[in-house]
Structures are given as structure tokens and as C-alpha cells.
Amino acid sequence: MSTQAPETPSLFPHSSADFGDAPLLVGKHTFHSRLIVGTGKYPDFPTMRQAHIASGADCVTVALRRVDLKNPENNILNHIDLGRMTLLPNTAGCYTVEEAVQVGVMVQEMELGDLIKVEVIGDQKTLMPDPIGTVEATRKLTAMGFTCMSYCSDDIVLCKRLEEAGAAAVMPLGSPIGSGRGVLNPTNIRLIKDAASVPIIVDAGVGCASDCASAMELGVDGLLVNTAIASAKDPVKMAHAIRMATVAGRLSFQAGRMDKRLYASASTPLKDF
Amino acid sequence: MSTQAPETPSLFPHSSADFGDAPLLVGKHTFHSRLIVGTGKYPDFPTMRQAHIASGADCVTVALRRVDLKNPENNILNHIDLGRMTLLPNTAGCYTVEEAVQVGVMVQEMELGDLIKVEVIGDQKTLMPDPIGTVEATRKLTAMGFTCMSYCSDDIVLCKRLEEAGAAAVMPLGSPIGSGRGVLNPTNIRLIKDAASVPIIVDAGVGCASDCASAMELGVDGLLVNTAIASAKDPVKMAHAIRMATVAGRLSFQAGRMDKRLYASASTPLKDF
Amino acid sequence: MSTQAPETPSLFPHSSADFGDAPLLVGKHTFHSRLIVGTGKYPDFPTMRQAHIASGADCVTVALRRVDLKNPENNILNHIDLGRMTLLPNTAGCYTVEEAVQVGVMVQEMELGDLIKVEVIGDQKTLMPDPIGTVEATRKLTAMGFTCMSYCSDDIVLCKRLEEAGAAAVMPLGSPIGSGRGVLNPTNIRLIKDAASVPIIVDAGVGCASDCASAMELGVDGLLVNTAIASAKDPVKMAHAIRMATVAGRLSFQAGRMDKRLYASASTPLKDF
Amino acid sequence: MSTQAPETPSLFPHSSADFGDAPLLVGKHTFHSRLIVGTGKYPDFPTMRQAHIASGADCVTVALRRVDLKNPENNILNHIDLGRMTLLPNTAGCYTVEEAVQVGVMVQEMELGDLIKVEVIGDQKTLMPDPIGTVEATRKLTAMGFTCMSYCSDDIVLCKRLEEAGAAAVMPLGSPIGSGRGVLNPTNIRLIKDAASVPIIVDAGVGCASDCASAMELGVDGLLVNTAIASAKDPVKMAHAIRMATVAGRLSFQAGRMDKRLYASASTPLKDF
Amino acid sequence: MILTLNGEQRDDLAAATVADLLEELGLGTRPVAVMVNGEVVRRAEQAGHRLSDGDSVEVISLIGGG
Amino acid sequence: MILTLNGEQRDDLAAATVADLLEELGLGTRPVAVMVNGEVVRRAEQAGHRLSDGDSVEVISLIGGG
Amino acid sequence: MILTLNGEQRDDLAAATVADLLEELGLGTRPVAVMVNGEVVRRAEQAGHRLSDGDSVEVISLIGGG
Amino acid sequence: MILTLNGEQRDDLAAATVADLLEELGLGTRPVAVMVNGEVVRRAEQAGHRLSDGDSVEVISLIGGG
């Protein structure tokens, strides 16, 4: 079924910026791509590196965990193009505000920059974020000097509260993390975007290229995609697909789609002979 | 909202062929793009020409109607890049097999090539095709030497009957022509593709970029898109979007998407500190 | 989870007729219930009989097959309340017009009445009906004196052709037989109903009570349900559920639903103190 | 289209309790119906009263507002069957915890019982509830002795937090209040129910009978419906429809639906002659 | 005489006509239809229709279906 | 004495206390709650709570809601 | 001679044959098809096909469609 | 001296301070953070922070995540 992609296919377009679109601004950061990628779940680092290139992304999430002392040289940073990529460390796995703040302290110690993806989990089974903890963690991490990108449910008022707490970007989930089911409630995402003064980035849930195009057509500012790329059968090819679908969705939003109709409307004029 | 696209943005990728995908084969014809475009409903010919370029397509539908004798020089062929494009004349507007055959005779008289889009309408209000008439017209036009691309409903058995009647490609509709509602019944399209020995091209109904990506992810061989481009607020930008979404959907299908899950699956390993 | 239903719960309402709705008229037949049930796939005959009662139906499908000569007394008619039920023999399993006509001859020989469910299968894998064969079989069986209820895809023009061929009711499927996925394309069913002069009965595909209510809210005249009842864990309870959902959907259609809104509209007046 | 319902159609079944289902228990209250109805938006009080009867409900929401001093006798309580109905006063329109608590004080002053629907709005345009304020108001009103039924978004963790704050029932919305769009995110509602130790009642968003059946099939404990009944063209008929659909959805959930299949499965055995 | 009856070879049947066969099989009161060699034998003809060696006979009645 | 009663200026009322006011307004049998200047005046205090010029009084009861 | 040409009555045309007509209409280089009285007149016959009074002529070419 | 290092008991380490420990583990050039007994030891304090018997030490760096 699958045909082999050539070794180094051209990366045009990297992003909608190649079509004159404004870049994605998060706090003081400027990203040319509206797609942020992750570093989890890849079969191996070389595949990850190729997929990162294919994605066109210039921002990438990483997580903090114990060093593997048996393989101290096994350093993920050796496999990320730090010339192009800005790091976005996350607080994944934290269940309390205190844990998230502690991760923040460590991020500062490690001099990883000022960006942080704020994630406070509230339920072990569904891994859904805790609305109240996330607001509080966002407030504290912002006070510590971080540019917070806060991961949350698609609760419309919650997204507003995160913005008020200092989030530089709000990142509602489309569907449960790793579920790959796309944006389950497009109405909410649209209403969240309507009300927002900071960028809205859909984080979690997209599973394939069309999910990315659909999400961008809702008017959101960007996407964060990890599992859909890393767990595809061919992650590099999927990264190309998702890069282009993100651009396509953005242009489609900007181009202004045709009106929907219940009934038909001929694309060819009536027959006259 | 919309930012201006640069005058001549690069056209990479023209199609999934730029990623090593096989071309679309219809009878003896080889198309590098899996996107076929129309020529109806555009605001003007220069916009149409630019949109055609932006689409990356190398096949284009046209219709037969009375010459406008007051403007005999107003010839649509002057606005189609015949160096790149193969013409696909349609029998749009025909309500009987006889009418469709008569259009076929005229297409031969005009020496427009051997391709024909077979369309026999069965209902004036919904413009839905007549299953029985389309099968019969396909049989007759095939006997006249045409390479038939037959437009039809998403009836699974009907698509098989069209193939048996000689259709070189079968073109089920996603939703009523001009409705822009996407593929209303993805199950049927998937079952049609599963059973087919000739290319399946979704014709009619897609309204935006994500609709194209979704349709291609069903595994179909191509798309025919007219109104979604021509009736967008910015047809040229939408043509770019639809070109890239079609490629993205194809690559996404080939890359093999992640499995869907009801529940979550962390993209970051469990916290261990 | 499931609580035991009492032995003989009241059957009010049997059907929407209990709320003053017109009965379902098919040819010369008058049915008080808009729900037609099947006799296949039940765990045993006593369960079937109880489920039939719980369904409130007064029309029931049966099929023709070889007599089990080892159990010649195993007669399904002993388990159908022929005082209430009208038999609707089907031509299930026929792949040609000739086979369907032969079944019709046998139905006449067996003096089972004038009703027949016309079914000509076109694909062994999906069991989807053959559009052309079904039209032809409808024409022939009508000429033989049958009141034809023709099972077909949701192709809008095909439904019209079946009516022209003499069908007393047209029965488009909601989704593939036995798939239990509900009405996959409500737009088509609505357009079919809009255009019809004979009753439209959704046959095949409903899987649960809400599917029945949704289908009836499209305005169709009735439903034919077999697997959803027979293959439920508790068929009798499901029969009650489907009876009531069918009535509820009908009343909901007639009552005229509220308008949908993208945004909210308070159900309580604004606070004034 | 609509036929006239008889004056006093039988009310069997009032609720799923008539089929042996357990009643709905909220704190110390026992409701035989799983449907709670509202009192807003009705064309007039007699219609409301008839619709209440037709709904089979035994719990009804009311709101607190200024007395209309020009019509001091215009008392809604005269139009509610207080012999059958338990009152559920709401805090609708409150934007702060303090306002909600103040409404609670007034409910106590008016001796309306111990039930209260906790609603703290967070956004004027979408009328979406404030997650943090609702948790806090639930905590305070519970401490004041109220049995709280807390209205909220479909945020999974928030629902758990409300339970921890003392809510006797949690009432996630299906779609924005008054929008009539049904349950937009069934996945969330199902996950909320899975995790809950108190009753989950879908409040807001259902628009018609099938929406009620679908929601109940998710396994939730009850529904609160106002606009779908009050703003139907025929509210009394719609109340009957929604009563039966709620029962049908409950029984369908309990009966255990058939499995869904992508492909078909014949309901009639293969033809053998 | 050997018949193929509902797909099985049978040499144990005494019936000379279709009507005899139905009676021998004990299907008297039940609605059945009979095909011999692919053709329906109508009720009026059953008493007169003689069975021959090698005939393929189908006796059809009702079962559950949807 | 001028009161703001449910948002309207009123100078036609004779009531000296909250309890008087409710009676004067004819709301005797109906469940109502009263706020004076933003504070709820509980039932037990209504007879003793004297109204003053310029007071803002809200008399609240039930209406339809969802 | 009066023709109905693409739905309009015309008495201003001098052409005697279909080929003449196409030239008179200035459609030389463009692909067109011609029907006279509902029948297509094939290219090879156009020079020989004489027009008669009352003929209904359709001159067909390409337009935009989907 | 026995330490719990990233969850494992270790008695094979010579390091007296946090800074020593990082060097002994060969993590010199890589960004790491260190917690001792649940508190982050900031970089400036690592040379001066002496390890004691029974300390629980976590050495944290980056891994893949989403």
C-alpha cells in the first residue's frame, strides 16, 4: 500500500507563513510553524529526528524524568535540532500544583528557557487535567517568570480563567490524550477561540491529517501533535501529512469556505440545447 | 482575517506523486495529481486560471452548452492550460441516456479526447444521478470508445454495476452536488473502495480542505472538486489549501494512522520522581 | 445493571395511534403500529413471542427456507400471534430477479397473503441490495398481484424508481443490515421522504432505541427492526424500549422541535435583583 | 402534519420505574421519574401544567426573581402540582459565589425545601458555568444544609471536584443551554458517569426526543429538560415524546444493545433452496 | 426410487406423487411450497405430479427472518 | 418616605417595617424573600426591621426557570 | 430563410450550408458541434448539409462546469 | 554511605557533595536537576551541599514527552 517517500523531499511549505500568514506569537516567542510536536513514543531517535524535520515545526515538547544512570549518554537533546527548535518542557505527570511548581524550579535550574507547558492531571484513568489546579499552577509559574502554555479541557470559562491567571497560550484538548479521536466538540473549541485574547492551541486528541485540517479550520492558532505522528506506522510520512494538513486547514480557514447547503446546487449551468 | 498569499508561491508538492506515490491511472490516462478540478462558478477566468495552477491538477472538467453568439471569442479553452490539463467533458444536465449519448457524439465531433464524465440526472430538485440511466449510458458511451468516469450515488452495488458496464473510474458523490457538506457516509465510500477494481474518485460534496483530507484517508484514489474552490471567498488560496489537503490525506492514509482509543494513553511516560 | 421487567407490563402506548396519529397505510393494509418486527436471530421462540408483544407491532417478516424434515413440527407460525400480526414474507437471500419471482410464486402457493418484502441482494459481503434487480423484481411481483415493500439503498432516485415500478412502500436501509449503526446518512432519508408518494420505512441498521427515535424524527412513516431487538442481551426489554422510542420519535416529529442555536439562550430570565 | 392528541392520554409508563427500574435517588429524595422539567419559556401556564403532567416528572425547577408588583397574584406555584412535584429552585443568573449563596439564603427564607440547583455563570455570551465558582458555591451551599445539584460543563475532573465539594448530584451540560443540539460530546458524559459516585444528570442541550434517548443510553441517571419541551410547537405532545424517549433510552441501556459491526450480518439465514 | 430431498439423497420414501410425499413427510396442515427440479409444483397439480427417479425435490416453508 | 422597590422609585407606600410592606403589597400567603440594601431580611426580623428613606428594597419570589 | 439558431429566430444569415454558417458566425478555430433539428451533423457532412427554411440549429461549444 | 539514587539503593558512591556526585555519575555537560530528600538543590548550592547517609537523591533530566 505504502510507497516509499524519497529521502529528502522538499519541505515547502514549512508552514502557512510561507503563504504570507502571520507567525504564531506566544509571549515573546515567534514560531513560524503553527504546529508544535512532541518527543514521546517514537520507535527510535533517528525516526524522531526525521519526523521533526518533516513536520516543519520549530517548537518541541520535552519532559523531565530520572536520568537513566545505566546509559548516562542517552541524551534526547542530542537528537533534537536545537538550532531550529525551541524547547517546551512540560509538567506532565504532575497531580498537584506543588509538583508542577517543583518541575518549574528544575526547568529553571536546567536553564531550558522560559517556556513551560502547564499540565496538572486530575484523574489517573482518563489523564484529564484538573481545572482548578491548572489555574493555580499557571498563576504560580507565571509569577516565577515562565511563559505558560496551559493544557486544559475544552471548558469555555476555564480557558478564560487560565488567560486571566497569566497563560500566554491556552491549550484545550480535542479528545483524551493519546486517544486519536480528533476534536470531539468543535463547538466548544470555536467558542473558546471566539472569546480568547491569547493564542488557542489544540493539544491532544488529533489522530490523523484530516483531524489537523479540521481543527485549524475552526480558527485556532496552532496544534500540538505527538502520538499521531510517533505512533503512525510510518511516522516520517505522517509528519509530512500533518505538516501539510495544518497548513491546508489554516489556508482553508483564511480563504473562507463556501456556504453549506442542505440541497444541491449545480456546478454546471442548466442544459440549454 | 485573510492575509495575502504571495503572487507565485511554490507549488511543491504538486501531488502525492512528489512523495513517491503512484500516479492516478484512468484507462490509458496517467494523472500525476489525484485532484481533478472544475471550471464552473468561478468569479472570472483569470481567477480560475490561477486557482487551477494552485490546485496542482492535471485534469479538468468542462461542459457543453450553446455558444454565446454575441461573444463568439469568449472561449473557455483560452483560459485553460492545455499543455498541462487533460479535458474531461461532462454530460451534466442530461436526464436521459439518449441525451448523454448525444453529448458523447458532440464530444467526438469536437475532438476533445476520449474521456467523458457520465452524468445522468434523475431528480430535478436534488440533482441526484439516476442509477439505471447512468449504468446504461456508461455501457453505450464505453461502446462508442469513451473512457467513462461515471458519476453516481454512494450505492455500493451500483458502483460495481458501473464497473461491469465499462466505467474506467467510478465517481460516487460525498453529498449533494454543491452542498459542501463533505462525505456524509464514509462507511459506504470505504465499502465501495474495498470492492472496486477501478479507481474510485469522490465527486461532489466536499466543501473545504479537511473534507478533502478526510475523503482521501478513506483510501479513495482521487477527488473531483469544483464549488469548494470556485465559491470560496479566495478561490486561489482555497485551491492551495485543497491541493495540500489532498496530498496530506493521501500520505496520512499511506502512513497508517495510530489506533483510536476510547480512553487516554499518556504521550509522556509516568512521572518517576 | 439490568432490573427485571415485570411479567406483563402495560403496553400503552402500543403506537403513536394511541395519541391520535394516523395509522400506517401500505396498499390496502392498515397497521396501527409504525414498527414492523422480524423473526430472525432470536435466542428461542418464547422470547420472540414475548418480544413481539412488547414491540406493539402488528406486522412481522418471515422468510422461506427448506423445511427441517427432522423436526417437521418445528413451525414458526405456531409462535406468531396470527390474530394480531400480518405476515410480511421476504425474498431475503435472492440474488436475481428470477429467484425473487420464484419466492413470490411460493408465497402465493402457501397462501400467505399479498404482502411481500422485495429484496434482491447485489453483493455477498455487504449484503447490499441490487438497485436494478430490485426495481425489476418490484415490477414483476407487483404485476403478479403483490403489495410490494421494496428494500433498497438510500439512493434518492432509486427510491423514486421503485415507487414508479409499483412499490406500495419503499424501505431504504439506514446502515448495512445487522450492523446496528443507525441511520448513517439522515440527509438522504429526509430527501427520500420529501420526494415520496408512498410510505418510507427505514429497514435495516437501527441498533438501539435512540436510533429509532432519530429515524422517526426525520419524518419517515415507519421502521422495520429485527436484529436490534433479537440480539439485545434482553430482547423483551429492548422491544419495549424500541416500541416507545418509535412512538416518541413520531410524536417528537409531529410536535415540532425547538430551533437549534449555535449559542446559548437562557431558559431562566435574566437576574434582576 | 400534526394530529391532535386526545385530551388525557394515559401516562403509562410514567417512568422506567414502571418497568422495575430503581428510582432516582438524590440525597434523601426519591424521584420515580428520571426526567426533571423546567418552568421557563412556556407560552402560558395552562400549557405548562399540561406539559408537566405529560412529562411524568416529579421534580421541577423554578427560579427566584422580583415579584411583579403589578400582578401580585400571578404566582407560578398556583400552576405547579405541588402534590406530585418537588421544587428544585435554581441559582440561575448568578455570576459569583456570593450571589449564589444569597439566593440560597432566600430559598431557605421562603421554605422551599433543601434542594438547590447550583449554577454560577462564567461567561455572559455563552452562559457557560464557571468551574471554580461552582465548586465553591457547592461547598458553601452544602454547608448551609442544601442538597446540591450542581450544573457544570462536561469537564471530567470538575465533575469529580463537585462531588468532593458535596454535590448530591452532578449535572453536566450536553450543549450550551437553550441550544437544543443534544449531547455534543458523548465520550465525556460516559467518562463522567464511569467515575461518579453520585447521580449524573444531563442538564441543558437536549432538543428533541431522540436526544433524550441517546443521553440515557450513555448510562446517566437522569435528564433535566426545559426548552426542548417549552419551545416545541406543541409542548404537551413533546412532553409525552420526551417522557417516553427517556424511558426508552433507560430500558435500552439496561437491555444491553447489540454489538455494532462495520459490515453486514444477515438477519435471515442464507438461502438454501 | 432415489430422490434428492432438501439436499439429501433419500431412498426410503414410498410416495409416488408430490401430494403423497407431503403426506408421507407429515407436513399436512402446514403451509409449504414444493419445487421439483427447480420448478414450483402448484397445489392443484401436486396430486397429479408423479415423482421420478433422480428428481430433486425442495420442500419449503417459513423460518425466522428480518 | 421614598423607597426604591424592585427597581422603581415609590413614594406612595405607608409601611414602616418590612412586615408592613409585605402586607401592604398584598403578598401575604405567597413565599417571598426580602432584601433591604442588598441584605436579606430574615422572616423573624421582618416585623422589627424599620424602613428608612432611600432604602432599596427587593421583594423576591418564584418565576419560571430551567 | 428563417432559422432558429440557439433558440433565437434569425433571418439575417446568408449561409446555405452548415459549414457556411460556422464560418459566417466566426467560429472557425474553435471546437464546436452542430445539431440541426435535433441531430448532430458530423464534421464530414457539414459542407454538404444544406440548411432549409425553419431549421432549428444548435451550435454547441464548451463552458465551465464541474 | 548508603544513598537512594533514582529509586535504587547504592553504597558504591564516593561523592561527598551533590556536585561530586554529578561528576562521579558522568553527567557533566548535560542539563540536569537534582533533588535531595524532595527539595531541589540549586546549581549554586550543589558544591556546598553535603550528602548524608540515607539521603534520597533524584537526578533528573529530559526525556521524550508530548
The 3-state DSSP class for residue B211 equals: helix
- The residue among A15, A50, A210 with the most chain B CBs within 10 A of its CB, best to mutate, is A210
Contacts of B273 in chain H (CB under 8 A): 6, 35, 58, 60
At position C44, the amino acid (one-letter code) is: D
Of D131, D176, D191, the CB nearest to A155: D131
A273 touches chain G (CB under 8 A): yes
Contact in structure between B40 and G64 (CB atoms under 8 Å): yes
pLDDT band per the 50, 70, 90 thresholds, residue B1: very low
Read off the C-alpha cell for D95: 455570576
Place of cell 401430494: E19
Interface of D with F in 103-122 (CB under 8 A): 105-107, 109-112
The answer to whether the Cβ–Cβ distance between D106 and F25 falls below 8 Å is: no
Round to whole Å and give the CA distance between A118 and A170.
10
A72 touches chain H (CB under 8 A): yes
DSSP letter for C83, please: T
pLDDT of the residue at H8: 93
Distances (CA, A) of D227 to C218, C257, D134: 20, 10, 23
At position C22, the amino acid (one-letter code) is: A
Report ipTM (2 d.p.).
0.93
- Could you give the percent of chain A with pLDDT greater than 70? 97
Chain G adjacent subunits, 3+ CB pairs under 8 A: A, B
What is the nearest CA distance from C265 to chain F, expressed in angstroms? 11
Contact in structure between C272 and F60 (CB atoms under 8 Å): no
Contact in structure between A252 and B182 (CB atoms under 8 Å): no
The answer to whether the Cβ–Cβ distance between G66 and A267 falls below 8 Å is: yes
Mean pLDDT (chain A) is: 94
Contacts of F65 in chain C (CB under 8 A): 267-269
- Residue D83: Cβ-neighbour burial (10 angstroms; 0-12, 13-18, 19+): exposed
Write the DSSP string, D147-205: EEEEEE-S-HHHHHHHHHTT-SEEEE-SSSTT-----S-HHHHHHHHHH-SS-BEEES-
The answer to whether the Cβ–Cβ distance between G66 and A268 falls below 8 Å is: yes
CB pairs under 8 A between B and H: 15
CA angle D100, D103, D106 (to 5 degrees): 155
Instruction: State yes or no: chains G and E have 3 or more CB pairs below 8 A.
Output: no
Contact in structure between C192 and C156 (CB atoms under 8 Å): yes
The answer to whether the Cβ–Cβ distance between A155 and D156 falls below 8 Å is: no
pTM summary value: 0.94
For residue A2, pLDDT beyond 50: no
Chain A adjacent subunits, 3+ CB pairs under 8 A: B, C, D, G, H
For residue A72, pLDDT beyond 80: no
Q: Which of H60, H59, H30 is nearest to A78 (CA)?
A: H30
Instruction: Determine what percent of chain F falls in helix, strand and coil, rounding each to the nearest 5.
Output: 15, 35, 50
pLDDT of the residue at C3: 43
Contacts of A273 in chain G (CB under 8 A): 6, 35, 58, 60
The answer to whether the Cβ–Cβ distance between A3 and B9 falls below 8 Å is: no
φ and ψ of A3, to 5 deg: -100, 155
Residue in chain D nearest C235 by alpha carbon:
D255
The answer to whether the Cβ–Cβ distance between C156 and B155 falls below 8 Å is: no
Instruction: Give the rounded distance of the alpha carbon of B20 from its chain centre.
Output: 21
Round to whole Å and give the CA distance between D29 and A52.
57
Choosing from C28, C70, C117, C233, the catalytic residue is C117
Contacts of A181 in chain B (CB under 8 A): 260-261
Write the DSSP string, D80-129: S-TTTPEEEEB-TT--SHHHHHHHHHHHHHTT--SEEEE--B--TTT--B
Read off the C-alpha cell for D197: 459516585
B181-185: long-range contacts, CB 8 A cutoff, minimum separation 24? B181/A260, B181/A261, B181/B205, B181/B207, B181/C187, B182/B206, B182/B207, B182/B208, B182/B210, B182/B211, B182/B214, B182/B215, B183/B211, B183/B214, B183/B215, B183/B218, B184/C184, B184/C185, B184/C187, B184/C188, B185/B154, B185/C184, B185/C185, B185/C188
- Could you give the percent of chain E with pLDDT greater than 70? 98
pLDDT of the residue at C105: 97
For residue F21, pLDDT beyond 90: yes
Question: Residues B41-58: pLDDT tens digits?
Answer: 999 999 999 999 999 999
pLDDT band per the 50, 70, 90 thresholds, residue B8: low
pLDDT of the residue at A268: 86
Question: Residues B153-171: pLDDT tens digits?
Answer: 999 999 999 999 999 999 9
Question: Residues F31-49: pLDDT tens digits?
Answer: 999 999 999 999 999 999 9
Read off the C-alpha cell for F13: 407606600
Count the residues in chain C.
273
Number of C-beta neighbours around residue B117 at 10 A: 27
pLDDT of the residue at B4: 47
Of B93, B260, B264, the CB nearest to A177: B264
Round to whole Å and give the CA distance between B190 and B39.
28
If chain D, 273 residues long, is cut into consecutive pieces of 10 residues, what is the mean pLDDT of each piece? 52 93 97 97 96 97 93 88 97 96 96 97 93 98 98 97 98 93 96 96 95 98 97 97 98 96 84 86
Catalytic center residues of D: 117
Question: Residues A126-164: pLDDT tens digits?
Answer: 899 999 999 999 999 999 999 999 999 999 999 999 999
Chain B adjacent subunits, 3+ CB pairs under 8 A: A, C, D, G, H
Round to whole Å and give the CA distance between B1 and D32.
54
Q: Which of A32, A42, A43 is nearest to A62 (CA)?
A: A42
Contacts of A266 in chain B (CB under 8 A): 40, 92-93, 127, 177-178
Of E58, E64, E66, the CB nearest to D273: E58
A59 or B11: which leads in pLDDT: A59
Number of C-beta neighbours around residue D14 at 10 A: 17
Mention every residue, 6+ apart, whose C-beta is less than 8 A from residue A12. Answer: A18, B10, B12, B13
- Residue A28: Cβ-neighbour burial (10 angstroms; 0-12, 13-18, 19+): exposed
Question: What angle, 0 to 180 degrees and rounded to 10, lies between the N-to-C axes of helices D235-255 and D45-55?
Answer: 20
Q: Which of B249, B122, B256 is nearest to B186 (CA)?
A: B249
For residue C271, pLDDT beyond 50: yes
Round to whole Å and give the CA distance between C142 and A8.
65
Distances (CA, A) of A113 to C69, D187, H58: 83, 37, 22
When pLDDT is averaged across residues C224-249 and rounded to a whole number, the result is: 98
Write the DSSP string, A162-188: HHHTT-SEEEE-SSSTT-----S-HHH
E60 touches chain D (CB under 8 A): yes
Mean pLDDT (chain G) is: 92
Question: Residues C114-166: pLDDT tens digits?
Answer: 999 999 999 998 899 999 999 999 999 999 999 999 999 999 999 999 999 99
- The residue among C252, C261, C265, C272 with the most chain D CBs within 10 A of its CB, best to mutate, is C252
Per-residue burial over A78-100, b if 16 or more Cβ lie within 10 Å, else e, is: ebbeeeebbbbbbbbbbeebebb
Round to whole Å and give the CA distance between F46 and F59.
12
Contact in structure between C173 and C205 (CB atoms under 8 Å): yes
Round to whole Å and give the CA distance between D228 and D208.
6
Q: Which of C94, C107, C176 is nearest to C136 (CA)?
A: C94
Round to whole Å and give the CA distance between F55 and F3.
5
Chain E adjacent subunits, 3+ CB pairs under 8 A: C, D
Contacts of D187 in chain B (CB under 8 A): 262
When pLDDT is averaged across residues F6-10 and rounded to a whole number, the result is: 94
Distances (CA, A) of C159 to C67, D179, E65: 34, 34, 23
Contacts of B270 in chain H (CB under 8 A): none
Read off the C-alpha cell for B84: 498541462
For residue A92, pLDDT beyond 70: yes
The answer to whether the Cβ–Cβ distance between D67 and F60 falls below 8 Å is: yes
Interface of F with D in 23-42 (CB under 8 A): 25-27, 30-33, 35, 40, 42
What is the nearest CA distance from G51 to chain B, expressed in angstroms? 18
pLDDT band per the 50, 70, 90 thresholds, residue C7: low
pLDDT of the residue at D271: 87
The answer to whether the Cβ–Cβ distance between D175 and A187 falls below 8 Å is: yes
Of D176, D207, D237, the CB nearest to C258: D207
pLDDT of the residue at C262: 81
The 3-state DSSP class for residue D234 equals: coil
HEC sequence for C216-230? HHCCCCEEEECHHHH
For residue A171, pLDDT beyond 80: yes
For residue C265, pLDDT beyond 50: yes
Contacts of E43 in chain C (CB under 8 A): 109
Mention every residue, 6+ apart, whose C-beta is less than 8 A from residue A164. Answer: none
Choosing from A117, A140, A193, A237, the catalytic residue is A117
F59 touches chain D (CB under 8 A): yes
The answer to whether the Cβ–Cβ distance between E66 and D269 falls below 8 Å is: no
For residue C5, pLDDT beyond 80: no
pLDDT of the residue at D8: 61
Question: Residues E22-40: pLDDT tens digits?
Answer: 999 988 678 999 999 999 9
- The residue among E4, E39, E60 with the most chain C CBs within 10 A of its CB, best to mutate, is E60
According to DSSP, the β-strands at C147-152 and C169-172 are: parallel
For residue C24, pLDDT beyond 70: yes
For residue A3, pLDDT beyond 70: no
- The residue among A125, A157, A159, A175 with the most chain D CBs within 10 A of its CB, best to mutate, is A157
Place of cell 410524536: C251
Number of C-beta neighbours around residue H28 at 10 A: 9
